[in-house]
Amino acid sequence: MDITLTQSEQVLSLARSKAHEIGVPVNIVIMDTGGHLKALQRMDDAFIGSMDIAIQKAKTAMLFRMNSEQVGEFLKPEAATYGLENTNGGLVGFPGGMPIKLEGKIIGYIGVSGGAVPQDFSIATAGSVIN
């Protein structure tokens, strides 16, 4: 099942609320399970350069069906898969990209960028589980 527009709007709202709560303007990207852009929201004063990072975080999560920081474990120099970040048009191995789940099933992916790494993770987490 792919994320609907209504569900995407719910995810954006949840993530945006968290961003407002912690006072961080970010870019929020929603992708469907095929990795196609469903929604993008650039909050006022969010860094323009962070849009591409948010997209790549969501894409990284989609390609491996896990959080972007989990993929990052495979990107470390000591990992046998070092260099993997150069595949698939570039991967991002730090927090802020993750699956969006509904009733335990992945329906899409969220990518958030514009704050510090823990802030991006917190905002993405707020939007990653919907009802």
**More confidently predicted of 89 and 97:** 97
**pTM here?**
0.94
> Looking at the chain, how many residues does it have?
131
pLDDT in tens, 35-88: 999 999 999 999 999 999 999 999 999 999 999 999 999 989 898 888 888 898
- pLDDT on residue 62: 97
Helices (H), the chain: 5-22, 50-64, 68-75, 117-127
Please tell me whether residue 108 adopts helix, strand or coil conformation: strand
- pLDDT on residue 83: 86
Give me the mean pLDDT over the 80-107 stretch: 92
As a whole number of angstroms, the distance between CA 104 and CA 100 comes to 9
